[in-house]
Structure 1
Amino acid sequence: MDLASPPAPATSVKDAVARSVKPRTIRSRLLRILGICLAGLLALLGVIAAGHVSDYRNAAHGAANARLEITLQAFVHELQKERGLTLGYVGGVTSFRAPMTAQRKTTDAARTTLENTLTEHDDEAADTVRATMGRLDALTGIRQSADNGTAKVEPTFNWFTSTLIALDRPDLGLEDVQDEQLRDAFRTLQVIGNAKEFTGEERAIVLGSLDAGGRFRGDDYSRFMQMRAGRLAALDAVPRTATPGERRRLADALSTPEAQRTFDYEDNAVRGAGKLSARDIPPMSWYQSITATIDGLRGVQVSIGDDIQARAVELERRAGLDLLLFLVFALVMAAAVGALARNCVRSVSGPLSRLADQARDVAGVRLPKAVAAVQAADGEQPDPPEPLTPDAHAGAEVRDVAEAFDRVQRAAFDLATEQAVLRRNATESLVSLGRRNQNLVRRQISFINRLEHEDADPDTLANLFELDHLATRMRRNAESLLVLAGESSPRTWSTALSMTDVLRASLSEVEEYRRVTLRRVDTAHISGLHVAEVAHLFAELVENALSFSPPESEVEIEGRRTSEGYLVAIVDHGHGMDSKALAEANVRLSGAAGFMAEPTRFLGHFVVGALARRCGIEVRLGEAPAAGVVARVLIPATLLTEPTAKDKKKAAKAAAAGRKSADGGRRPVDLPAPRAEREPAAHGAGADAAPEPGPAREPAAVSAAAPSAARTRNGLVKRPQRSAIAKVVRESGEPERPAPPAPAVERGPDQVSGMLSSLRSAHMRGAISVERERAAAEQSKTSGTTSGTSGTEAEGKGEK
């Protein structure tokens, strides 16, 4: 072993050299590539600026715009001359006719030159100038008005001035150039252009007023003073950006004899304080002197424009040279980087691409399949998804990524398993709790029914009826738990039940059922297999409408047969819901959302959604025609059926038994109003109770009987009511169906007995109500006396 130990250091050194020369990790290879690229970029940034491309474009753009600016200023200068001559001619100086005509030709030539220059430009600045040139379409009309003597001084002056200002306003982008010298020259050009425009306006104002009776026209004197002040301010601003040579040329232009004569005329006009005489300021002399002054300013402007154009061309040439050097260097660097990138792609891209394919397969197929198997498994633990297998020659980083993704996959599988077990346990707990509560409530209702039959005392019966009603609502709560857990209702109805009886069965299990008004309800029958679920659904929606509407308002129900089935509308007159809350509620009512992820105040929505999805019923909330919310329940035709003779016979016997039971005074009494807390504009269907569709328990205190026939139970002809929600029902597009004809009244012995029992029951309820009101009044009077005595005793004890 001692002899074998020396070669180890040599092997370690060899491995270290191999790792440094030919790295085997992605990190090392990327560092090598990035190091070369970084060195090249640093060298590139040290020699030439990174923005040479932008500099070249800026320089080229500046040169082109400088040429455009010079051409534009030439046209502006000629248009200014035409303005002065036109204003003098319109103002009454007829000697300006010939020079005005000649100047128009010069202006048109300058305009043509500008338009030709614009055709060579296709940028934002050129588009701005083209849009401004559109104002010149009115120039022909201005000229014609001046020629035929209909032109006025002020409108003509205003048009020329506004057009010239618009032409001189476009920003050609020369102020954005990076070269400071070029930027200052452009600013100087603009300032001199402003001074020239102010001077031109002075010329036009004076010429327009020289033949106006010895005074300026209107407020032309104040405008003249403003123009003069603007020119002086513009000339004072020139030295801030102008070069010494530009300042010298400007001084020479303003010291000519013509310029001095112009300033003398200006002084005369200023001293006149609004008075203007052709003797003091001869029109032709004023025009010639001030025009020579403007031409001098134009000469300075042209020289500055030439300097700008020369500077822009020089900048463009330098930027082009720098760009060429940059491109050559960039090509060399790109070739080097490309050679290194090819090796990187071969060693990194292949394994990573195959690993990405496996990851996509895990995310899209294998993991969802494993999670679905976990959720569908009944106590058995399915196998986890297979781990990712990277290439054998893949780098260490690729293997680390594969291992990390395997851990994520395993964590997701474990989490799904835990959630499935938790969800299964929660569902089983809900089912067990619901079954237990349902059995207890059923036994409680049976016991209450026995007590009702054994006791005839009105007060006791009233309390028992109230307790019976509360127990019925408790049973609906228990059945709601079963619905949320996915269990079907254990209560079924052996025969088909009419829609009116189904609605009454649902109303018997809601609080404040006396506020519910049944409008027109077309004849239809629900299959006995679905009676309990449909009645449960109605009870939830009606309970919701009652809870979230004013206590003094009614909840209206109307049912119509349609080509798609049977449409029931439940309308409350509460505050309503906004569009967002309605959309969220409709999602829950469709059964598409899971109740585990929503607030508990919306459990009733999920109960309705589960029942609707189970039976194929469509439930939607919408705005009521007047105020409040309308719930539209569309029952498919598959749930409707026609009753057989056996069903009719059983229903008649059950109805007779219900009327006989009424002989014992078995009718619901007034129940206390619930205190429903409501989220603003959030109509949460109450998850309070479940239906008891038995015909023996029909609520007698419904505000209006369902108008399934045109006669009452006593055989009297009923006047059809105007439904407040007919518009809501008609929104489905179904034609209005007439109410069925009133059947002939043929009463048998059982019906006569039932009518007498109903009369007796009504009489008994009236007596019970009177006795309760009298007892309440006496109790209130007694409690008032007692409280007064107690207060006196307490006061006496305090004094002692």
Structure 2
Amino acid sequence: MIVPSVTFTPLLASGMNQLFTQWQAEKAHMELATTTVGRPAAGLFFALDQERRLTAQVQAGPGEAARDKLAGQRAATDKAVSAFRPLTTLAGAAAQEGLADAVSSTVRGLGLLDQQRRAVDAGWSSAQQAFDYYSGLLESDLGVLTALSNADEGQLNTEAQTLVDLFWIIDMVGREDAVLAHGWEDRRLTRTEYGLATEAIGARNHLMHARVLPTLKGEETRYAKLTDSQAWRTMTEVEGRLTLAAAGSTGDQVRLRDDGAAWRSSAETVTARLRELLNLRFEHVRTIGYGHADMIFTVFLSISIVGLLALALVVLTSWRLTAVLRRRILSLRQDAQELQERLPDVVARLQRGEEVDADAEVRMIQPTGDELGELGQALNLARRSAVLTAVRQAEQHRGFQRMLQRIARRTQILIGLQLKKLDELERRHENPEVLEGLFDLDHLTARLRRYEENLVILGGGQPQRRWRKPVRLLDVLRAAQSEVQDYRRISIDVEGEPWMAERAVGPLIHVLAELMENATTFSKPLTPVEVRAAPVSRGVAVEIEDRGLGMEPEEYAAVNALLQAPPQLDVMTHADDVRLGLYVVGRLSASLGLQVELRSSAFGGTRVIVLLPESLVVDRPPAAAPERAARSEEVRQEAAAVRARPPADAGDLRPAGGDGTLPTRARGRAMASITADAGSPGRAADAGSPDRAGAPVPSGRRPLPQRVRQASLADELKVPADPDDRGDQEDWTARDQPSRSSATIGAFQRQSRKRRTGEDASQTRPNGSPEPTPPTTEDR
């Protein structure tokens, strides 16, 4: 009972107060517009208009009759000024928008009226100065009338605007009359005065035809043919002759015909008709304004009476129903609170993957036959629907993730088969152009394998590429580089020789490949992407820096927040999100304990810092050091043997046939056997002895060293020779990858040219290390 009463009473009081305030405001506004301010402002307007014309006439040709008329008009203007001056305080109290400023501006202009009159009488003021003063003062007075026309009621505002337009039309006629009154005496006008007259003519015609005549209604329609009257036509004819005279005149003077009497008669007649129309419109606006105010007062009384009766009815009804409904409402409230507490718990259990029985979680409310019973039944349906919907959505989400993983796994098998097929084709073909295309397909397939792993990760799974032994961080970075489209732009620099734990190799390659892909994608094609790795106090830090456009600070903050706490991804709702790679990075980083942060780069791009924790950094395996030392020693011995060969022997490189052509490559091998001079020290070969490929070597020649497949790879990344010995690694993830035949042929040709020209075949770098071989797909 109390709540409805307390609620309804302020609403009723507020509505009544608003209506009463609006009625008072509109009534006060109508008083200002029609009586208090409107009449004095209109009287001042007509007085100043007449004084402007008579002043121009006196300045054109002094005469006693004109001076007497001007003196009488000045007296009438003084009365109008005396009635207008007290409006300053009234306008300020009324607080009408723009009214106080308009009244103050007009009063300031009236303060210079006596000074202007004395200047005219003494001949100090020119005709243009007098015209500008009176016209400016009339514009200020019209600003007062315009402010009075601004009403809150739409119809009243529209009708009052037409009233203001009539005042402006009369002012335009008065301006033209004042200019011509000064010119009839000498029958000439200056170009400036002619411009003022034509501007007034144009403004008058526009206001009359575009804004006044279309709005006439009721008794006002009889003035619709005012423009067809004899006075209006006479005035228009005089204006036409004025235009013709201006077109035929040269210089600064426009000569006038003797049309002063015709103009005076037509102008006074038109002005009088316009004032009649203005008075009629004024009464029309007054009727509308007071009628709307009376209507608001009637609505105020009606709403007050009805509101008080409704308040009494609400109090009585509330008092009778409170006792009956209180108990049952409290019961429903308890049931609703129980639903509010149990439903979040059910949703949380579903998110954790637990099975939920909807029937067991919902306790039904016993329905009754009245409205509260229907409300209880609706609450039962809402409770059951909410639980069932949550269960179905959780099951659908888990089912979609499982389906996504199955599809991705099957696609990965197909990708593995495709990689095997590409491997066979690479081994079978030797044409450099064909091999180049096969290697490009191999690279695209490796990238496709990573994209399929993205689907597995987004579906809640983990990458299947696994290693049984630790791997050098440099090899991990190179493997990630090989899965990037524009890998040639990436430069890798590793400080020291850190090794990664075997469980982190596959996910870490995926994370680094995604970040390198972003760096190359969002930077210009020719700019480098620098990858640096170095041990730090809490592990190993990997920095990936590009020179792209970067991002805004708030965008960096949003991405870092996403990487630190990856949300539960709903793939269907994020299908258009271009940051799916960031979700993958966030998922894998969370599972490995990586810390990934994006910052602004000094080059203007983005710098990504990946902190590998100490738990993922392991010591070098015992078997890795001796094998690597043995390979390094073999390379040094090979280079020493080549450097020891005399320069004279380097120019006699010929095939076994002796026809001066280069030897052909044997199918299935990276480099065919070629022969060298038998006199080379460090290598003695008998005639006809076979090389490693089984081809006979001519007498006195020795074979050039051949590249061994996977020799540049770390032991942990090599594919075992026995197909059955693959460990936990899937069939599609690790395989033999041939070296690029085109790159090998290029190296072979370079060495051959060096031997022909007598250069040392084992040219070393300034630091003493042998010239590196071109990169192959095995390095990936």
Q: Select 1:77's aligned residue among 46, 55, 62.
A: 46
Residues 1:404 and 2:378 aligned together: yes
Contact 1:434 1:479 in 2 (8 A): yes
Q: Secondary structure at the match of 1:609?
A: helix
Letter in 1 for 2:40: T
Q: Select 1:369's aligned residue among 345, 350, 360.
A: 345
Partners of 1:161 and 1:293 lie apart in 2 by 20
Contact 2:589 2:595 in 1 (8 A): yes
Q: 1:625 to 1:179 in 2, by over 3 A?
A: closer
What is the Cα deviation at residue 557 of structure 1? 3.1
Partners of 2:486 and 2:47 lie apart in 1 by 92
Q: Secondary structure at the match of 1:387?
A: coil
Contact 1:59 1:315 in 2 (8 A): no
Aligned to 1:592: 567
Q: 1:641 to 1:117 in 2, by over 3 A?
A: same
Residues 1:112 and 2:85 aligned together: yes
Residues 1:665 and 2:636 aligned together: no
When structure 1 is superposed on structure 2, of 584-593 and 265-274 the one drifting more is 265-274
Partners of 1:209 and 1:86 lie apart in 2 by 13
What is the Cα deviation at residue 335 of structure 1? 1.9
Q: Select 2:127's aligned residue among 132, 153, 161.
A: 153
Q: How does 1:623-642 map to 2 (within 5 A)?
A: 632-636=607-611, 638=613
Q: How does 1:97-108 map to 2 (within 5 A)?
A: 108=81
Q: Secondary structure at the match of 1:71?
A: helix
What is the Cα deviation at residue 634 of structure 1? 2.1
Letter in 1 for 2:312: A
Letter in 2 for 1:373: R
Q: 1:201 to 1:111 in 2, by over 3 A?
A: same
What is the Cα deviation at residue 503 of structure 1? 1.3
Partners of 1:268 and 1:601 lie apart in 2 by 75
Deviations 1:35-66 (A, max 9, x none): xxxxxxxxxxxxxxxx9997786555434432
Aligned to 2:677: none
Partners of 2:554 and 2:546 lie apart in 1 by 19
Q: Select 1:613's aligned residue among 590, 593, 609.
A: 590
Q: 1:595 to 1:501 in 2, by over 3 A?
A: farther
Contact 2:596 2:608 in 1 (8 A): yes
Aligned to 2:189: 216
Contact 1:469 1:668 in 2 (8 A): no
Partners of 1:271 and 1:501 lie apart in 2 by 99
Deviations 1:393-432 (A, max 9, x none): x873333233333233323323433444455566567778
Partners of 1:651 and 1:513 lie apart in 2 by 31
Aligned to 2:719: none
Contact 1:497 1:531 in 2 (8 A): no
TM-score by length of 2: 0.56
Contact 2:515 2:544 in 1 (8 A): no
Structure 2 unaligned regions, length at least 5: 5-18, 246-253, 636-704, 713-729, 744-761
Partners of 1:264 and 1:271 lie apart in 2 by 11
Partners of 2:234 and 2:398 lie apart in 1 by 105
Q: 1:116 to 1:206 in 2, by over 3 A?
A: farther
Letter in 2 for 1:130: D
Q: 1:174 to 1:513 in 2, by over 3 A?
A: closer
Between 1 and 2, higher relative CO (CA 8 Å, sep ≥ 6) is seen in 1
Aligned to 2:531: 558
Aligned to 1:4: none
What is the Cα deviation at residue 543 of structure 1? 5.1
Deviations 1:104-148 (A, max 9, x none): 85565354233233123223xx42563585477567689868839
What is the Cα deviation at residue 614 of structure 1? 2.8
Residues 1:340 and 2:313 aligned together: no
Partners of 2:499 and 2:173 lie apart in 1 by 96
When structure 1 is superposed on structure 2, of 106-115 and 311-320 the one drifting more is 311-320
RMSD (Å) for aligned C-alpha atoms = 7.1
Partners of 1:164 and 1:527 lie apart in 2 by 91
Partners of 2:545 and 2:190 lie apart in 1 by 79
Partners of 1:643 and 1:497 lie apart in 2 by 9
Q: Secondary structure at the match of 1:374?
A: helix
Letter in 2 for 1:62: M
Q: Select 2:391's aligned residue among 406, 410, 417.
A: 417
Partners of 1:631 and 1:337 lie apart in 2 by 67
Q: How does 1:510-549 map to 2 (within 5 A)?
A: 510=483, 515-518=488-491, 525=498, 528=501, 530-542=504-516
Letter in 2 for 1:517: I
TM-score by length of 1: 0.55
What is the Cα deviation at residue 594 of structure 1? 0.9
Partners of 1:91 and 1:103 lie apart in 2 by 22
Q: 1:150 to 1:330 in 2, by over 3 A?
A: same
Q: 1:324 to 1:615 in 2, by over 3 A?
A: same
Letter in 1 for 2:89: N
Partners of 1:188 and 1:472 lie apart in 2 by 79
Q: Select 1:569's aligned residue among 530, 536, 544.
A: 544
What is the Cα deviation at residue 600 of structure 1? 9.5
Q: Select 2:98's aligned residue among 127, 146, 167.
A: 127
What is the Cα deviation at residue 367 of structure 1? 1.1
Contact 1:536 1:690 in 2 (8 A): no
Partners of 2:345 and 2:178 lie apart in 1 by 88
Partners of 2:152 and 2:134 lie apart in 1 by 29
Q: 1:195 to 1:339 in 2, by over 3 A?
A: same
What is the Cα deviation at residue 370 of structure 1? 1.3
Partners of 2:529 and 2:429 lie apart in 1 by 34
